[in-house]
Amino acid sequence: MRAVRAAFPPVLVLALALIAWEVAVVAWSLPPYLLPAPSAVARAAWSDSARMAAATLETAKAAVGGFALAAMLGVALGSALGSSRLLQRGFYPLALLFQMVPLVAIAPLLVIWLGYGLRSTLASACIVAVFPVLASTLDGLRSTDPGLLEIFRIHHAGRLSRWWKLELPSSLPSIVTGCRVAAGLAVIGAVVGEFVSGYAGDRAPLGIVITTGMREARTDIVFAAVALSACVGFLLFGIVSTLGWVLLRRWHASATPET
Amino acid sequence: MRVAISIAGLFLITVLAACGESGKPSASPAGGSSAPVALRFQLNWVPEPEFGGFYAAQADGLYRDAGLVVEIIKDPGGGSVPQLVARGTCDLGVVSGDQILQLREQGGELVAVYSVFDHTPYGVMVHAKDAPESLEAVWKGTGNLALESGLPVWKFLASRYGPTTRTVVPYGGGTATFLADPKAASQCFITAEPATMDVQKVPVKVFNASESGYDPYTVVVAVKPGQVPDPVLQRFCAASQEGWKRYLATPSKYNPAIAALNPAMSLEAMNAAAERMRPLLDTPWTRANGLGSMDPARWKAMAEMLLQAGVIKSAPESSAIMRPMGTTPSKP
Amino acid sequence: MRFGPVEALARASIEIRAGEFVAIVGDSGGGKTTLLRAIGGLLPLAGGSIAFQDAKGQRVHPGPRDLGFCFQEGRLLPWRTVLANVALPLELEGVPRAEGLAAAADMLGRMRLGGVERRMPRELSGGMRMRVAMARALVTRPRVLLLDEPFGALDEVTRQTLDEELQTLVRDSGATAVLVTHSIQEAVALADRVLVLRGRPGVSLAPIAIDLPSRDEAARLSVGFASLCAQVQAGLRGGRVP
């Protein structure tokens, strides 16, 4: 139950913030289109729960799928760059491009290349999430203990053997950190991608719920959708962290309980 | 933890904004004062022929002659002009007629004073080859239909014809996907996509939304009640009307200046757009009552239709949402 | 086994016989570790040569199994259990997994480390970790064991205990051992010969034979032991080496 105790402070802060928000809306008579009260947001989500749930599921598919792809791609590309100084110097700046180009500019292109729907939203989630994993993988590989590298050299270990048995496990703490960052970004990428590629109708993802809500001046719906996408982000972050803990708890300081 | 902080931050920023901007009227009260009145006029899109008359009035000094200094503010597409006008952040703004009704239900009050289009410029565009015969046929066809989710006109069409059988995809990513797909249908705005297709020599068929019976005043100038004194409003509307008259007479005279403000649209497209929009502005009604004038009965009809389609919960009286030009707007 | 001259370090030529236990002492920075690493093939030589010979005097090239290394930091893989760590050299050689693990378990058993097979390195004390490192070095039954100040980070008591264990292990396996150390006591207690590397960088490598009647725990307290240590000390200072 340490988890429950750990969750208490942020939950308390959140509750206080929500109460203050509700009070402020009432006290200042803020119109709903400007700032809806948390109760209005909750009501908007509840009264439309089927649509909101379906939308959250759609967005979650894109975010989780995009993240998984980004994690695999990031580790693969990071390992490829880590294996050769030349490759690194040639391709690292290009990899940075993933990070730099604004998603809102690429997203329409993705629609043209991949079509509407899950394929392009997953792609936009992936694009945004790749770089943190790539960079953290590369960083981890480059920080491999030279003493251990020597042990592998002494025993004439092959390249693949070295990567799989030494460099990758050694980089795991760094990769997990990169994945944590990537998780949140994947959700943002999915939602932004949905703005231009999501289907409307009963399979509409959260991005479409947001754009529709904005067009209808329904700020309460927009807030509800934003809160739900934040939940997806939290869920993904939690999954990544738990996986990281499982992989690292036996041997890495970062995953062992505080004494 | 992060959710708490971001919500708290968002809430704080909005509350500060709310406290700061409470819509103090910026225009001076007395109508006969010699100092020119400054007006912030927020557009809801980039400079285009749909705002041609306002730019013409600006270019020919009509606002200046009326004792007004009008700052025309363009909008790259944020979509929040109704809220900005309701807050008083700008004095006048271009909104869609139905947005006035939608915003009302969310606590924002706006009043329309001038309508650019007499008939709605919204429609659905398909490729001319093998095109369906009617708007309803398009709606009940197969293939993709790109539209802006949340636009009341689509809700109305759904209530009138039943839900669309097409696959609805987002509108606004440009025309590339439409061009690539011969069966595609797309929401269109008369001065935008059809004009672009004309310039690219792509044959299209445009079905105006009014075919369904829903013909709201779109592209209207709205104010927050009490924000701008009536005499000032009248002068603005009169000058704008003259500007529109001149624009419609010779759009090619004023389009170069607009094109300079909007590098994304070619002069050729702008000229094509002006021609496309002409029949929607120059109508028997506007010939009889003046450009920009509005029929209260049509506002009432639109409110009823939106009520029927489930877009709004109650239909207000037309006097609450529009003021025909020349009448004094007052707080209800 | 015979070693040729290693010019960067010494102008003498050193021969180390099979089964011999040689200790190298010298000032820090003198190049003891460099010499060891050169012997182990971890460093390219600018001049001179290192040669391995078999019993018939034929030149042989040491295979991966023939050399065992033990470093001061232990260098165990933190994410592997003790057992998997010890099995690593065999694994990297391509030995089937079951066989490798069995050999590792056997080695750990012989060193009375059977209880910690499933533990992770970070759960062990410094001394235990070094013993696991030694187990790993010996699991391939190497012909030559190279040790670079293996017990330098440990306290004196643990050090002596491990010295004894090392002595036993080396004797039982019959391997040739080269130990780099800065502890003269340790060198004298374990080695058949102590090579004194003088200078910084080392310029002379003088051997001192260690003749002790017995090598048991009490040996360190004997007079002979003390005098040998003094000899080595003198050698380091530059005095005459008889």
Portion of chain B with pLDDT greater than 90, in percent: 71
Q: Give the closest-approach CA distance of C195 to chain A in angstroms.
A: 25
Whether B and A touch (3+ CB pairs < 8 Å), yes or no: yes
Chain A residue nearest residue B98, CA to CA: A216
The tokens of A90 are what? 């040639």
Examine residue A257 and state whether it is found in any structural domain, yes or no: no
> A251 contacts in C (CB within 8 Å)?
78-79, 120-122
Examine residue A122 and state whether it is found in any structural domain, yes or no: yes
> Does A197 contact chain B (CB < 8 Å)?
yes
Chain A residue nearest residue C66, CA to CA: A155
* C-alpha to C-alpha distance for A171 and A252, rounded to whole angstroms: 11
Chain A residue nearest residue C77, CA to CA: A148
A/B interface, count of CB pairs below 8 Å: 117
Portion of chain C with pLDDT greater than 90, in percent: 38
Q: Which residues of chain A, if any, have pLDDT below 50?
A: 259
Which among A203, A55, A79 has a CA at the least distance from the CA of A141?
Answer: A79
More confident residue, B145 or C201: B145
Of A148, A161, A252, the CB nearest to C75: A148
* C-alpha to C-alpha distance for A135 and A154, rounded to whole angstroms: 29
Q: What is the pLDDT of residue C121?
A: 94
Q: Which domain holds residue A130?
A: 49-252
Examine residue A158 and state whether it is found in any structural domain, yes or no: yes
Examine residue A43 and state whether it is found in any structural domain, yes or no: no
* C-alpha to C-alpha distance for A169 and A159, rounded to whole angstroms: 15
Q: What is the pLDDT of residue A259?
A: 45
Q: Give the closest-approach CA distance of B319 to chain A in angstroms.
A: 22
Distance of CA C224 to the CA centre of its chain: 24
pLDDT over 80 at C45, yes or no = no
Contact (CB<8Å) A112/B176 = yes
Residues whose CB falls within 8 Å of the CB of residue A242, separated by 6 or more in sequence, listed in order: none
- Mean pLDDT of all residues in B156-174: 89
Contact (CB<8Å) A147/C71 = yes
Structural domains of chain B, ranges and CATH numbers in brackets: 33-119+217-321 (3.40.190.10), 122-212 (3.40.190.10)
Average pLDDT over chain C reads 84
Looking at the 3D structure of chain A, how many domains does it have?
Answer: 1
* C-alpha to C-alpha distance for C181 and C170, rounded to whole angstroms: 16
DSSP B46: S
pLDDT over 50 at C100, yes or no = yes
Of C42, C64, C67, the CB nearest to A150: C42
Buried residues in B233-253 as b, exposed as e (16+ CB within 10 A): bbbbbbbbbbbbbbbbeebee
More confident residue, A209 or C38: A209
- Mean pLDDT of all residues in C37-66: 77
In this predicted model, what pLDDT tens digit does every residue of B26-55 receive, in sequence order? Answer: 444 444 556 889 999 999 989 999 999 999
pLDDT over 50 at C8, yes or no = no
Of B106, B169, B170, the CB nearest to A33: B106
Which of B21-25, B52-56, B195-199 comes out lowest in average pLDDT?
B21-25
> Does C97 contact chain A (CB < 8 Å)?
no
In this predicted model, what pLDDT tens digit does every residue of B258-282 receive, in sequence order? Answer: 999 998 899 999 999 999 999 999 9
Q: What is the pLDDT of residue C37?
A: 85
* C-alpha to C-alpha distance for B130 and B123, rounded to whole angstroms: 18
Q: What is the pLDDT of residue B51?
A: 95
> C121 contacts in A (CB within 8 Å)?
251
Q: How far apart are the first and last CA of chain A?
A: 16
Q: What is the pLDDT of residue A253?
A: 81
Q: Which CATH architecture has domain C1-62+143-242?
A: 3-Layer(aba) Sandwich (3.40)
Q: What is the pLDDT of residue B58?
A: 95
Q: Match 């019993």 to its residue by tokens.
A: C55
pTM: 0.83
- Band the pLDDT of C234: cuts 50, 70, 90: confident
Is this complex's ipTM strictly greater than 0.90?
Answer: no
Examine residue A66 and state whether it is found in any structural domain, yes or no: yes
Best residue of C67, C73, C81, C92 to probe chain A, by most A CBs closer than 10 Å: C92
Which of B291-305, C51-65, C180-194 comes out lowest in average pLDDT?
C51-65
pLDDT over 90 at C28, yes or no = no
> Does B150 contact chain A (CB < 8 Å)?
yes
* C-alpha to C-alpha distance for C75 and C78, rounded to whole angstroms: 9
Q: Give the closest-approach CA distance of A188 to chain C in angstroms.
A: 34
Burial class from Cβ neighbours inside 10 Å (0-12, 13-18, 19+) for residue B325 reads buried
Q: Give the closest-approach CA distance of C104 to chain A in angstroms.
A: 16
Of A111, A212, A219, the CB nearest to B173: A111
In this predicted model, what pLDDT tens digit does every residue of A192-224 receive, in sequence order? Answer: 999 999 888 888 999 999 999 988 889 999 999
C-alpha radius of gyration, chain B, whole number: 20
Contact (CB<8Å) C88/A151 = yes
Best residue of A12, A33, A232 to probe chain B, by most B CBs closer than 10 Å: A33
Chain C residue nearest residue A171, CA to CA: C79
Q: What is the pLDDT of residue B332?
A: 34
Query: Which CATH number does the domain housing residue A192 bear?
Result: 1.10.3720.10
Contact (CB<8Å) A217/B108 = yes
> A35 contacts in B (CB within 8 Å)?
11, 14-15, 18
| Bridge pairing between strands B185-189 and B144-147 | parallel
More confident residue, A7 or B14: A7
Examine residue A190 and state whether it is found in any structural domain, yes or no: yes
Q: What is the pLDDT of residue C240?
A: 52
Q: What is the pLDDT of residue B11?
A: 54
Chain A residue nearest residue C136, CA to CA: A151
pLDDT over 60 at C174, yes or no = yes
